[in-house]
Structure 1
Amino acid sequence: MTDNTSMTTSTPWHLWLVGVVSLLWNGFGGYDFIMTTTQGATYMQAAGFDQPLIDYYMGMPTWMYVPWVLGVWGAVAGSILLLMRSRFAVWAFGLSLIGAVVSLIYGQFINPPPALPAELAMMSYMPWVITAIAVFLAWYAWAMAKKGVLR
């Protein structure tokens, strides 16, 4: 007779893949946050931003730091918590998604940035890509929690 109360749900291989890839992706977001907040215009100029774009980001309203912090650090925490198989990954990715959506709405509809330089034109899609990835990670963590993989 087997005691089913002591059995645990095994960790699917894709959790490790999603966890590591999300940590790399979101880790870069953390790096970008730190560099932007500590180096400011110097970092942005080195990344190829022209002066109107640098002025736009340097003039970002103070309240926009809240969704930015939630988006970036919620995602980093979510990635770590996912790798730890913690159910709190769902909450962390949820906060990250809220931050991404608020940032997307602000940057696309309330106060759009100036046109990007030609060499950065593809970056105009990044807010949408970031939000789509945030949706996926929040869903994935929720699905893994529902299946009992996250504790």
Structure 2
Amino acid sequence: MRKAVFWVVAGLALLWNGFGLYDLYMTLTVNQDYLAQFPPEMMAMIEAFPEWRRLLWTTSVFLGVIAAILLLLRRPMAERVFWATAAAMAAGFFGYDLPFGNGIEAYGTFGLVFSVILIAVQALLALYARWAARHGLLG
């Protein structure tokens, strides 16, 4: 049963982070149909991102995908990469978006809550990877 749950969690982790990659691509390529669902304040904040913030966002998305792939490949390093993903996301959100990027207005209540959930999911996946390693599912 543990193995079946492991594969479900690993597959969901890849889907979750794969959607993050899709979101990044659609946003950075300025797909108007996709971006129409977001508030104009959020789009203005993203457009005003300094290049380092855009790079941090891109890095966190790719780290999440890499971590999920490492989990699927049953590599213990997945835990560290999930932690790095959560840290990069938190650094962007709490280190720039909220204090300097007008994040509170740009995100709105839903966006603020969802951003915290995004970070929490990566942390939970890191904890799951640790648990899986301790129970012989990784390595």
Q: Does 1:12 align with 2:9?
A: no
Per-residue CA deviation, residues 100-129 of structure 1 (Å, 9 max, x unaligned), is 111221223343326359xx7522311111
Q: What stretches of structure 1 of length at least 5 have no aligned partner?
A: 1-9
Structure 2 gaps, min length 5: none
Bigger mean CA deviation after superposition, 120-129 or 70-79: 120-129
Partner of 1:5: none
Instruction: Find the residue that maps to 2:137 and give its secondary structure.
Output: coil
Residue 62 (str. 1) matches residue 51 (str. 2): yes
- What amino acid is aligned across from residue 11 of structure 2 in structure 1? V
C-alpha contact 1:90 1:141 (8 A) present in aligned 2: yes
Task: Give the deviation of 1:92 after TM superposition.
Answer: 2.1
Q: Count residues in correspondence.
A: 138
Structure with higher helix content:
2
**Matched AA of 1:20:** G
The 2-side partners of 1:57 and 1:71 are apart by 15
TM-score (norm 1): 0.78
Between the two structures, name the one with larger relative contact order (CA 8 Å, sep ≥ 6). 2
1:21-40 matched pairs, under 5 angstroms: 21-39=12-30
Q: Residue type of the partner of 2:65?
A: V
Counterparts in 2 of 1:62 and 1:137: CA distance versus 1, 3 Å: same
Aligned residue in 2 for 1:49: 39
Aligned identity (percent) is 26
* AA in 2 matched with 1:47: Q
For residues 102 and 54 of structure 1, the distance between their equivalents in structure 2, rounded to whole angstroms, comes to 19
> Which runs of structure 2 are paired with 1:1-150 in the superposition (5 Å)?
12-39=3-30, 42=32, 45-50=35-40, 52-105=41-94, 106-113=96-103, 115=105, 121-150=109-138
Per-residue deviation at 1:89?
1.3
After TM superposition, the structure 1 stretch with the greater mean CA deviation from structure 2, 19-28 or 108-117, is: 108-117
Q: Based on CA coordinates, which of the two structures has the bigger radius of gyration?
A: 1
Q: What CA RMSD, in Å, does the superposition of the two structures yield over aligned residues? A: 2.4
Whole-Å separation in 2 of the counterparts to 1:64 and 1:97: 15
Letter in 2 for 1:68: W
TM-score by length of 2: 0.83
